[in-house]
Amino acid sequence: MQERARRWARRRQGIDADPTTLNRRRTYILPTGLGMGFGFVLFAMLLASMNYNSSMGFGLTFLLTSLALVAMHWCHQNLTGLIIRGYRVRPAFAGQPLALEMIVENPSLTARYELIFQWQHGSAEPMDLPPRESSVLRIEIPTRRRGRIQVEAIRVSTRFPFSLFTCWAWLHPDLSGVVYPAPAPRGEPPPPDSTDVGGAQDDSRGEDDFAGLRAFRAGDSPRHVAWKAAARGGELPVKQFAGTDVTTHWLDWSALEGQGTEARLSRLCRWIIDAHSEGHAYGLRLPEDEFPPSVGRRHRHRCLTALADFRSAGDPRD
């Protein structure tokens, strides 16, 4: 039933923009089991008061009914008007939790209580939001193997106050999470024929012959920073020229013959992590794709994502 309601809400609302405001048209409210029981008790009290013509019974029944109606109003108001923005799924390695993050903002002058965020694969602890405040929400789910997890829907709900009613809304951001392969243990270096070292043999060519990129280190000259690449990637890759020590690794799928697919991917994953941490430029060769040597977090993410998507292994949760 809940799945059918979710699909109906997705067809009605479509993909949500960033930021998303929970207006009245997209928030729904129904009594909980406790609320249904409370309603039956009120009905029984009303019948008893009518049977015995008890003014005190009528007064108590109407008072409790008024409290229930106020609770319904506040439950709906507790969710309406919230702003959710900054949807993001942080990549993870297989076996580590994948984290869905978002910023929840309360623009009103009243506090919000007991807000519950649920993803189809996990949920976060209930949160409270003071007036005019925002908070980063994080939902984690376990993973077992590489691949992608699609964020189909996020359910936001509350039962405040009294848990007599539940008010909820659906969020449908357009994003997915990447689960990288689990890296192999440290130890085995890249094969010798996958490493290109340039340097002293060609000192006379000076700085006119570009030889590669590496990560920025303290003391590097600003003249050697690849500013165009830095603008694209948000990091500071440094140009290296003939006459300097350049280490470029080609991480090649074919160099790992005799191993299974997952073993090869794990070993390539380890080599990418090590080359990135050491500041070496590296390229990746796969049967269906190739990434030229480069440096930086964006290049690392592209290469690891290619490993995660390689002949897709299915749902990372299985």
Q: For residues 91 and 143, what is the distance between their CA atoms, to the nearest angstrom?
A: 11
Q: For residues 315 and 318, what is the distance between their CA atoms, to the nearest angstrom?
A: 6
What is the per-residue pLDDT across 170-194, written as a single tens digit (0 to 9) for each?
999 888 899 999 999 987 777 654 5
Confidence grade of residue 119 (pLDDT, cut at 50, 70, 90): confident
Pairing state between β 154-158 and 165-171: antiparallel
Dihedral, 209, 212, 216, 218 alpha carbons, nearest 10: -50
Pairing state between β 154-158 and 112-119: antiparallel
Percent of the chain with pLDDT over 70: 79
DSSP code of residue 244: B
The model carries a pTM of 0.74
What is the per-residue pLDDT across 48-65, written as a single tens digit (0 to 9) for each?
999 999 899 999 999 999
Confidence grade of residue 115 (pLDDT, cut at 50, 70, 90): very high
Q: For residues 224 and 195, what is the distance between their CA atoms, to the nearest angstrom?
A: 23
Amino acid 117: pLDDT: 93
Amino acid 317: pLDDT: 60
What is the per-residue pLDDT across 122-133, written as a single tens digit (0 to 9) for each?
788 899 999 999
Question: Is 134:307 a contact under the CB 8 Å cutoff?
Answer: no
What is the per-residue pLDDT across 2-46, written as a single tens digit (0 to 9) for each?
677 777 777 777 788 889 999 998 899 999 999 999 999 999 999
Q: What size, in residues, is the chain? A: 318
How many Å is the maximal CA-CA distance in the chain? 110
Amino acid 1: pLDDT: 65
Q: Which residues pair with 225 in a beta bridge?
A: 238
Question: Is 239:213 a contact under the CB 8 Å cutoff?
Answer: yes
Amino acid 229: pLDDT: 63
Q: What is the mean pLDDT of residues 274-303?
A: 88
Percent of the chain with pLDDT over 90: 47
Domain boundaries, the chain: 2-179, 192-309
Other CB atoms closer than 10 Å to residue 271's CB: what's the count? 25
Peptide bond into 126 cis (omega under 30): no
Other CB atoms closer than 10 Å to residue 33's CB: what's the count? 10
Q: What is the mean pLDDT of residues 286-307?
A: 90
Other CB atoms closer than 10 Å to residue 179's CB: what's the count? 27
Amino acid 206: pLDDT: 44
Confidence grade of residue 116 (pLDDT, cut at 50, 70, 90): very high
What is the per-residue pLDDT across 190-233, written as a single tens digit (0 to 9) for each?
765 455 544 333 333 444 555 566 666 555 556 656 666 666 66
Amino acid 78: pLDDT: 95
Strand blocks (E) in 65-151: 83-90, 92-93, 98-106, 112-119, 122-123, 127-129, 133-141, 147-151
Question: Is 18:104 a contact under the CB 8 Å cutoff?
Answer: no
Terminal Cα distance for the chain, rounded: 24
What is the per-residue pLDDT across 134-153, written as a single tens digit (0 to 9) for each?
999 998 888 888 999 888 88
